[in-house]
Each structure stands twice: as C-alpha cells, then as structure tokens.
A and B are shown apart, each in its own frame.
Chain A
Amino acid sequence: KAGVTQTPRYLIKTRGQQVTLSCSPISGHRSVSWYQQTPGQGLQFLFEYFSETQRNKGNFPGRFSGRQFSNSRSEMNVSTLELGDSALYLCASTDRDRELFFGEGSRLTVL
C-alpha cells in the first residue's frame, strides 16, 4: 500500500498570500487530520475530516480551513499568510481508533 502523500513538499510564500496543501491518505482510510509543527509550539492539531465532514477543529484562526473530497483526499488552505505560519504541516490518515499514519509533510516558509 502506498503511504500518505503530501504535496508540495516545500514552498515559499510571502506575507498576505494564500496557500493550499494537498494530502492523499492511505487507500481505504476515511479519516484525515492535519497538524502544524513549529519549533516554538511543537505539534498542534488543526482539524480532522471523516467522509467529507469536519469532525473536530483545533484552536486556530479562521484563516486556516480545510476540506475533504469524496475520494478521501484532503486539502488545507491558509489565507492571508503571516510570518508565524511558517511551519511543517503534517497530514495523517487512519482507518480505526488507533495509530495515525503520517506523510512527510509540507514545509511552508513565509517571507
């Protein structure tokens, strides 16, 4: 089975721009969640989708949004980028109430 695939792996944006990150889960996994990792705040939960519905959301401003498609692929969007949004964004998928399987992440740099 292919693992979780995230694109793009690296990207550079400037303040005020927006960005869309993509995640393809492991085949058969219907739950996809997103995490932000920064040196200062560590790993923080953004949101989780299951069967195209957002089930849970972390404590992030409304500039952070996401969606899930019928094939379970997910995207997250960050609008009006700020310097503090520079981070590694990790996507994870699962098919049960146990371990999450993560992708390699999308490393965003905001200049």
Chain B
Amino acid sequence: AQKITQTQPGMFVQEKEAVTLDCTYDTSDPSYGLFWYKQPSSGEMIFLIYQGSHDQQNATEGRYSLNFQKARKSANLVISASQLGDSAMYFCAMRLQGAQKLVFGQGTRLTINP
C-alpha cells in the first residue's frame, strides 16, 4: 500500500524567507507521480507542482521547487521568498501510474509572519 508522511504539523516562517516542507513516501511500485497542493481557508485544493518518478530533474514552478530524492523516498517542497499569501495548509500526495486516486499526507499548516 502507498503511504505519504508529512512530519511537520505546523511551521512558522518570516516573510521573504525560504521554507522547506517535508514529505516522505512509501511504495513498491516503480512508476508514480508526486504532487503538492495548497489549501487556503476557502477549502479549494490548488495544484502547485508535480514530479514523476522517472523524471531526471527536480520540478520547478515559479517560486516552488521540489527536492526529489528517490533513494530516500522524499519529495520536499521548497518555497522561495515566502509571501503572506503562502499561509495555508500544504498537502503532499502520490498517485501510482494508471491508478485513479491520490493518496494524501496529513498536511502541514504553514504560517508566514510579517
């Protein structure tokens, strides 16, 4: 079975600092995708970034980058130059190739202080 672990229930960061949100995963399947979503208080899950298990390079999307370490089974999200609007819940998720569901971690609540 697949499992996602996010060990940081909450994080507090000063505005403009970089922040790393941890995510480890467990699967025996060789092909999978890893995702990060942001959930503000409104409830909508906003897609941030995707990393395929066979991708050679770490994914980047604007201020978001994914530090993918396959051997360690980790997929940490790095947010550079944090902004007040980054305050939200962040979820790491995994999807096996061909599978129809995402498996989510428990999330990390990020608070950006001015």
Contacts and interface: CB of A to CB of B under 8 A. Distances in A.
B101 interface: yes
A64 interface: no
Contacts, number: 53
Contacts of A50: 100
A90 interface: yes
Interface residues of B, number: 24
B8 to A, nearest CB: 15
Given A42-B107, A98-B50, A103 B101 contact: no
Given A101-B47, A107-B43, A56 B99 contact: yes
Nearest to A102: B45
Contacts of A92: 45, 102
Contacts of B76: none
A8 to B, nearest CB: 13
B43 A100 contact: no
A55 B99 CA distance: 9
A100 B102 contact: yes
Interface of B: 33, 35, 37, 42-47, 50, 91, 93, 95, 97-107
**A-B residue pairs, 7 tightest by C-beta:** A102-B45, A45-B101, A43-B104, A48-B100, A56-B100, A105-B43, A104-B44
